[in-house]
Structure 1
């Protein structure tokens, strides 16, 4: 029965998102590589995931979402079992590409399978509830794996990857019990998907007001994205924390993110989206600018505040963008905005890593804060000039 699909999806989501190597990965890589090399490897994974998103979506539509999900876990398991037993940069490049492929196979397939399973039972109106449950499972899994992964790494540095690989194998076996919905879904071609993504980008930039807002959200989102991928754990390490302490730090941050998500409707009602964007951006920028001047406890507090505020920012960004985009392009427009936030890291990761190697994570964070303030200032100037021109015409 398709009702069992949803229950099984909850289990698979936990097995997927409870990613034990999340915090340990930086500490493992630093055994062999510089920050520039590490940042490059992670950028390769993100580039692979984004480039493969369209063809894997078409693959899932042709062969089935169930097959795509099973294959995702199998590819992920292979990369995880090999990962802790190699030291060669070239092998890690291949493994990061495999991780990107695994992510691409999983992302759209799981969401589509959930929605189609509900739709086949004429219960698609329950999708927001199921989606909220999945979001809660995500945050809980991230908190557990952050804390547990750091501890496992301290016990044996290879153990997080071995345990995660075993969990992915279990997930692949469980995923074979999923039932493929028999709805006549639209078959996606690569050309059609590319056309849809171009249309999604056009929606973000179709007017001067949406262009300004898109640029503002992309700059802030890029700051959060870079912090999550290269800065958070490296800053904790600079403050003197080991993998276990860093795991606890990120776990606490995830817990506060859950609380922030829970009270988001109240915050939005009291403050509104515009103020929430300003507040979250201020928290993020201050966490960058102040980091080099403070000690362990305040520095860790800044990292936790940044993690917690990121969920508020993402919720606010979603509300703002959904107000002006059409329903037929909603998914691709949101995906396009996510891609815009990732592009600075994907293209500039080696430079970011070299800056950390030549200075320190916290000094790089300071420059990040200056850079984000400068870019937001430029966006504000563009908006101000446009407003003045509009008034002169009136």
Structure 2
């Protein structure tokens, strides 16, 4: 939980003003979408190699490298004015995202199963980690939106800041710079507080020789297991929904308030509320699974809630005023509530199908699906006319992900030592004799 907080708090700080910061640097929405494509494609290209690196080399060094890359990325985003510098910053953030997408959770599952056995319950711990992530993002986004607004309160404060730094710093660029400083704390914590089981000693050559085999196993995972394939496709659908919400909401907030700094503050409030909803959904994931009857049905319920939120955002896209803002905020919260409720159940289903030797790779495949679909959706949304259509695109993709779970199978048992799952039992009741047979 501490690792989740220290990793995602800086990201929340940096991401809140990012789109409005790029707009102030003179970039169009289509160009900003291109920057986020650079982020997503870099993350997608490195997901599997970095997941394999974590499974071969260890969780701790890969997480520390992610923190160092994010530190550099946030610094470039804060101070950069040229397009190529901002593109490099987004690409480095994508590389950091790829490195971080599996190791922490894989470390947690490894540790639990080492102490409590392969059949130990995982959903509650995964839900707590997800709730911690949401809390960190909520706090980070709120602070990241409030700082530019506070710095712009004084007369000509933003102009003085820009003049003093020759245009490198404006109020919107302060949160990413603070995020870069917080990454130092993350790296130090990872290096000192994450003991992991000893791994067989190996040279750098043996490490990189083991990655391709691990990556190949990760790619085969979705092809040979229907349940895992559903999890991966659901992650792709969630990526489309998140790309739609994250790309369109900041501009809509700035339009509503009439100024970028106040728009950043409004977006920060919405994002904070969204992450709180995500944390609540994650916290309720075990209860949702019990009430729904299985983890699979809990995923269906969660994704369905997210679809309803996107439809509500679409319905309010062409209207303005406090009532429209209220319904749009409700839709925004429903998207995050639904995705938060679905996530822990999806990941428990995944971990029970995957052995420890490929756990980080499986999480990287999941993140890869999310990043690729998010990049494609971002390109499409950035070039569509403003209005309901971009929101409907995200809703349609997420609905397709939800429909995958309309046919249920029993939840799988834990993997055995060789990485295989026990065969599922199919019981057929054929009759009941008078003698009780």
User: What TM-score range do you get, normalising by the shorter chain?
Assistant: 0.7 to 0.9
Flag the 1:88–1:353 CA change in 2: closer, same or farther, 3 A: same
- Separation (CA, whole Å) in 2 of partners of 1:18 and 1:260: 19
Flag the 1:340–1:130 CA change in 2: closer, same or farther, 3 A: closer
SS in 1 for 2:81: coil
Are the equivalent residues in 1 in contact too, given 2:46–2:95 (CA < 8 A)?
yes
Deviation at 1:53, TM superposition (A): 3.8
Deviation at 1:242, TM superposition (A): 1.3
Structure 2 residue 287 is matched with structure 1 residue 270: no
2:307: which partner in 1?
A: 285
Are the equivalent residues in 2 in contact too, given 1:292–1:366 (CA < 8 A)?
yes
- Decide which moves more: 122-131 or 246-255: 122-131
**Match of residue 296, structure 1, among 325, 334, 337:** 325
- Decide which moves more: 285-294 or 22-31: 285-294
Deviation at 1:16, TM superposition (A): 2.1
Structure 2 residue 369 is matched with structure 1 residue 369: no
Deviation at 1:63, TM superposition (A): 7.4
Are the equivalent residues in 1 in contact too, given 2:20–2:264 (CA < 8 A)?
yes
Flag the 1:282–1:172 CA change in 2: closer, same or farther, 3 A: closer
Structure 2 residue 224 is matched with structure 1 residue 206: yes
CA RMSD of aligned residues (A): 3.9
Structure 2 residue 166 is matched with structure 1 residue 163: no
Deviation at 1:176, TM superposition (A): 5.1
User: Whose helix fraction is larger, Structure 1's or Structure 2's?
Assistant: 1
- Separation (CA, whole Å) in 1 of partners of 2:399 and 2:263: 31
Deviation at 1:298, TM superposition (A): 0.4
Deviation at 1:116, TM superposition (A): 7.1
Alignment of 1:218-367 (within 5 A): 218=235, 220-237=237-254, 239-240=256-257, 242-272=263-293, 273-294=295-316, 295-321=324-350, 329-347=358-376, 349-355=378-384, 359-360=385-386, 362-367=388-393
- Separation (CA, whole Å) in 2 of partners of 1:110 and 1:281: 25
Are the equivalent residues in 1 in contact too, given 2:214–2:361 (CA < 8 A)?
yes
1:22: which partner in 2?
A: 15
Larger gyration radius, structure 1 or structure 2: 2
Structure 2 residue 143 is matched with structure 1 residue 148: yes
Number of residues of Structure 1 aligned to a counterpart in Structure 2: 366
- Separation (CA, whole Å) in 2 of partners of 1:136 and 1:196: 30
Deviation at 1:376, TM superposition (A): 7.4
Gaps of 5+ in 2: 152-170, 317-323, 407-437
Are the equivalent residues in 1 in contact too, given 2:5–2:133 (CA < 8 A)?
yes
Length-normalised TM-score, structure 2: 0.69
Gaps of 5+ in 1: 1-8, 381-394
- Decide which moves more: 188-197 or 295-304: 188-197
Alignment of 1:107-146 (within 5 A): 107-111=101-105, 123=115, 128=122, 133-146=128-141
Flag the 1:186–1:339 CA change in 2: closer, same or farther, 3 A: farther
Deviation at 1:341, TM superposition (A): 3.0
1:84: which partner in 2?
A: 78
Flag the 1:267–1:192 CA change in 2: closer, same or farther, 3 A: same
Flag the 1:181–1:277 CA change in 2: closer, same or farther, 3 A: closer
Deviation at 1:79, TM superposition (A): 2.6
Tell me the alpha carbon deviations over residues 276-309 of structure 1, each in whole angstroms, 9 at most, x when there is no partner.
Answer: 4443333333333342433111011100111111
1:40: which partner in 2?
A: 34
Length-normalised TM-score, structure 1: 0.76
Tell me the alpha carbon deviations over residues 125-172 of structure 1, each in whole angstroms, 9 at most, x when there is no partner.
Answer: 699576555434322211111111110122222210121112123434
SS in 2 for 1:360: coil
Flag the 1:349–1:69 CA change in 2: closer, same or farther, 3 A: same
